[in-house]
Structure 1
Amino acid sequence: MNKSILAVAVTIASLTLAGCGTEANQAAQQQHLQPIDVAQVLVKPVQNWHTYTTRLEAPQEVALMPRVSGVIDKINFKEGDSVKEGDLLFTLDARPFAAVVDSLKAQIESAKAALEQAKSEAKRAERLTERKAISTEQAESRKSTLRQREAQLLALQAELTAAELDLAFTQVRSPIDGVVSRANITKGNNVLAGQSVLTSIVSNQQMYAYFDIDERTWNQSFADVTAQSEQAVVMQKVGETSFNFNGKINFIDNQINQTTGTLRVRAVFENDEQQLRAGSFARIKLAADKVSEKVIVPERAIGTDLKNRFVLTVGEGNVLEYKLVTVGERYGSLRAITSGLNENDVIAVNGPARVGPGMPISPNTVTINSDGIAFTLSNNHSDLVAKQ
C-alpha cells in the first residue's frame, strides 16, 4: 500500500514539474521574439513615370564670323562673359573701309555736279528745240546724257551704302543674348568674311532637351498630349540624386521616325539662375496621363529571392509570411506594387534584413511616411518635388 501511494506521488510531482517547465519555456520564447516595425500598406492614385536621357541644347547658338575680311584690331569682351545683343565683341582695322567711303563720297559730289550740268544743258536743248535752233538729234543726246548722269549718281550712292555697311561691319557685335566663348582668333590676325569663326555664343535664358519616345509608349500613355498642353516634366543633371529642375513640353514632332519608330519631343527649362549649360547630359522624367490606384510600400520592404521579388507580411499569430510581388514605379523612397498585395496587408517595413518567412515576431506598428512625395504629375510645376 505504501508503495502505491509513493508511486502516485512521484507521478503527480513529475507532471507538475513538466507543466512548470512548459510555462517557463513559453515565457522565455515570448521574451525572445524579435521586435519588428510593421505598417499597413498605402494605397495611392499614381501615374507611371517614364525616364529618358538627353543632352541640353541652347535655343540659339551662333558661330560668330566676320561679314568683311580684315585684320583684328581689338577684342572687346572677356571670355566666358554674358553678353547682350548688340554688344561690341571684335573690332577690325577700319581704315581701308573708311578710305573707300571717303572716295565714294567724293565721286558722288562729282557726279552731282555733272548731273546739274546735264540738267542745265537738257533744259537749254528744250528751249532751243522750240525755236528750231538745235537739231532733234542734239536735243535727244543731251536728254540721254542727263539720264546717264542720274544713273551714275544712283550707282555711286548704292556703292556708298555698301561701303558704309562694310565699314560698320568692322565692328563685330553679338547677334543674340547669351554667353560668349573664348576668342578663337586674336588681335593682329587676318580674318576672312564668312569663313573665319571668331568665337561662339549660346543663349542661356532657357535650355532645350530633345528626347525620343517610342511609338507604343506614346500611344499608350501620351496620346492626348499636345505642345499646347504644356505637359510637365522634371530633370536631373549628372552627379545629382534628385530631379530638381521643372520644365514643360513645348514641341512634338509632326511624324514618327520610320527608321527608329520613335517620336521626337522637346522640353524647355527656364535657366534664370544659370545652373544649366548647353551640352550637359541629363535625365528627363515625365508621367503618363492615366491615373490608377496602386499599393505603395517602402523600397526597403522589398526583398529579392533569386529572380523573384517578395514582401514579408504579418499573418495569423504575428508570424511572417512570404508573398511574391510585382513591382512598379519608384516614387522617392517608396515603390508601387502592381500585384501580390492588397490594401489590408500589414508588412515588415524593413524587409528581410533581420527576419524571414515563418518567423514569429513582436510587431511594432508604425506608419509609412509619404510626405513630400509626388505620386502624380500635374501641369502646375509647384506640384513637382525634388524627391522624384
Structure 2
Amino acid sequence: MKTIDLAHRAACAWLVGGLLLAAPVQPTRAADTPAIPVVTASAERRSIARSFEFVGRVEAPERVDVRARVKGVLEEVLFKEGDTIKAGTPLYRIEKSLFEADVKQAQGALERGKAELALAGIQRDRAEELLKRNAGTAVAFDQAVAQEAQAKGATTSAEANLETTKINLGYTDIVAPITGRIGRTVVTKGNIVGPESGVLTSLVSQDPMHVTFPISQRDIMAAKKAGQVDDVKAIKVQIRFSDGTLYNQVGQINFIDVSVDRSTDTVVVRADIANPAGTLIDGQLVKVELQAGAPQERVLVPQAALLADQQGTYLFIVDDGKAAVKRVKTEGAQGADSIVASGLDGGELVIVDGFQSLRPGMAVRATPAPTLRTGG
C-alpha cells in the first residue's frame, strides 16, 4: 500500500510541475509602470560663430581725480553727482577776492618796474652822450648800463609774477578736464580746500570703454585658426553680463601686451567697445567672448541636459514617449547652451530635469522647460 501511495504522489508532483513549466510567463506591461515626469527642451539648430570665453573687466580709457590747485574757501559746488559732464564745465568755485588782490598787486609791481626801466634807459643814454663829449666818465656809463640791465630783469620778474597770479586766479574755477561721468563730491560749500585736501571728486570717460582680459598663447593661436586670420586684432569681441545677457555692441581688440605674465602664462589683451547708453561701468566684471570665423550651423542644447560617464558625454531624449540615450560630442559653450558637434540632428526633445532615476526605455511624461535660454 505504501509503495502505491508514494508512486501516486510522485505522479501528481510531476504533472503539476509540467503544467507550471508549460504555462506562458506574462511580461510586465508598460501600463503597469507609471510614466516618470521629466522637463524637456528642444535641441535647436542655429547659425553661430566659434567663440572663446574669458573673464574681463571694464575700464574707462580716461580717469581723472579732481583736486584743488590753490588754497581757499569753497564757495560753490556746481555739478550734480552722477551726471555726465562735458570737458571745460565748471565743477567747483573757490573764493576769488584774495587772488584778485594778488593780481592787482602784481600789476602795480610791474608798472613800477617798467617806470624804473624807462628811467634807467634815459640815464644810460645821457651817460653815453656825456662820454662821447668827454664830459663824463666810462665808470658812470658802465654803472648806467648795469642799472638798465637790472631794471630789465626786475621788469621780467614782475611780468612773470603777474602771470602767476593770473594763473592762480584761474585755478579758483575748477573745471572738468575731460568729458565723462562724475562721481560724488567729498567736500561741500564752506570748507577750506587746497592741494593738501586730496581728491575732491573723480571723473571717468564713458564712450568708448576698454575691456581688458588675460588670454593664454594657446587660446590666441586657437582663435586665429578658428577665425582664419593672421592678426588676432581682427577678431570681434562681445560682452556677456553676469545674468547671461549679451551686450548689444561689438568691440575690437586694439592692444596686446608686449610681455607674458610668468606666473599665469597669459597675455593681457584690451578691446575698445562703444558705450553710447552708459551701460558699461568702470570696474565692472564681465565675460568676454571672442567671435572667430564665419557663422556655421550647430546644434545647441541646454548645459543642464549633459551627463558624463566613463564612455564620455551623453544625454537623455524623449523617443516615442520613452527615454533614450544619445552619445554626443561637444565643442564649447554658447551662453547657457552647449554646442553639440555630433550625436544630434536638431529638433530632439532633450531631458533637462528628472533624469536622476531614468533608465533607457522607461516611459516618461514630458513637460516643456520655461523659455530661459540665452545662447544667442
Deviations 1:186-226 (A, max 9, x none): 12222222652111111112221110001221223237564
- Kindly provide the amino acid, as one letter, of the partner of residue 117 in structure 2: L
CA drift of 1:302 comes to 4.6
* Stretches of 4+ aligned residues off by more than 6 angstroms: 40-45, 291-294, 317-320, 352-355
Amino acid at match of 2:83: D
Deviation for aligned residue 1:279: 2.1
Match of 1:52, SS state, is strand
Cα distance change, pair 171–131 in 1 and its aligned pair in 2 (3 A): same
TM-score (norm 2): 0.74
> 2:266 aligned to 252, 262, 267, which one?
262
Aligned to 2:246, which of 233, 243, 246?
A: 243
Distance 1:320 1:294, change over 3 A: farther
Kindly state the Cα deviation for residue 47 of structure 1 after the two structures are TM-superposed. 4.4
Q: 1:147 to 1:256 in 2, by over 3 A?
A: same
- Answer yes or no: is the 8 Å Cα contact 2:120–2:148 preserved in 1: yes
Work out whether residues 227 and 252 of structure 1, in 8 Å CA contact, stay in contact via their aligned partners in 2. Answer: no
8 Å Cα contact 2:303-2:338 kept in structure 1: no
Asked if 1:277 corresponds to 2:298, the answer is: no
* Partner of residue 349, structure 1: 349
CA distance in 1, matches of 2:121, 2:340: 95
Aligned equivalent of 1:98? 100
Tell me the residue number matched to 2:10. Answer: none
Quote how far apart the aligned CAs of 1:154 are: 0.6
Partner residue, 2:89: 87
Deviations 1:29-88 (A, max 9, x none): 9xxx99xxxxx9888886432222222211111110111122212211122222111111
1:242 & 1:166 partners in 2: Cα distance? Answer: 50
Q: TM-score, normalised by structure 1?
A: 0.72
Q: Check 1:123–1:347 CA distance in 2 against 1; reply closer, same or farther (3 A cut).
A: closer
1:114-137 residue CA offsets vs partner (Å, 9 max, x unmatched): 111111111111111111100001
Partner of 2:11: none
Cα separation, partners in 2 of 1:272 and 1:96, compared to 1, 3 Å: same
Contact 2:254 2:270 in 1 (8 A): yes
* Further displaced range: 329-338 or 49-58: 329-338
What is the alpha-carbon distance in structure 1 between the residues aligned to residue 236 and residue 189 of structure 2? 47
- Residue 336 of structure 1, CA deviation: 2.6
Counterpart of 1:232 (choices 223, 236, 257) is 236
- Point out the more displaced range, 303-312 or 173-182: 303-312
- Does the CA contact (< 8 Å) of 1:319 and 1:360 recur in 2? yes
User: Residue in 2 aligned with 1:253?
Assistant: 257
Percent sequence identity over aligned pairs: 26
Structure 2 unaligned spans of 5+: 1-26, 37-41, 365-372
Return closer, same or farther for 1:328/1:310 CA change in 2, 3 Å cut-off. same
Q: Which amino acid aligns with 2:349?
A: V
- Against the structure 1 CA distance between its residues 322 and 123, is the aligned structure 2 distance closer, same or farther, given a 3 Å change threshold? same
Task: Find out whether 1:304 has 2:340 as its counterpart.
Answer: no
The secondary structure found in structure 1 opposite 2:185 is coil
CA distance in 2, matches of 1:42, 1:76: 55
Aligned pairs for 1:1-388 within 5 A: 47-193=49-195, 195-222=197-224, 224=229, 226=231, 229=234, 231-238=235-242, 240-246=243-249, 247-289=251-293, 296-299=299-302, 302-304=305-307, 308-311=312-315, 322-331=325-334, 335-339=338-342, 341=343, 348-351=348-351, 357-358=360-361, 387-388=375-376
CA distance in 2, matches of 1:350, 1:161: 78
Amino acid at match of 2:313: R
Measure how far apart 1:248 and its partner are.
2.1
Deviation at 1:348, TM superposition (A): 4.0
Provide the secondary structure at the position in 1 that maps to 2:134.
Answer: coil
Decide whether aligned partners of structure 1 residues 131 and 99 sit closer, same or farther in structure 2, where only a CA change above 3 A counts. same
Gaps of 5+ in 1: 1-24, 35-39, 362-372, 374-385
| Matching residue's letter, 1:281 | L
The residue aligned with 1:383 is none
Partners of 1:145 and 1:301 in 2: CA distance: 93
Give the RMSD, CA atoms, in angstroms. 3.8
Q: CA deviation at 1:313?
A: 7.7
Distance 1:225 1:77, change over 3 A: farther
Contact 1:302-1:309 within 8 A present in 2 as well = no
Give 3-state SS (helix, strand or coil) of 1:350's partner.
strand
Q: Secondary structure at the match of 1:222?
A: helix
For this pair of structures, how many residues does the alignment match? 329
Please state how far the C-alpha of 1:244 moved relative to its aligned partner: 2.4
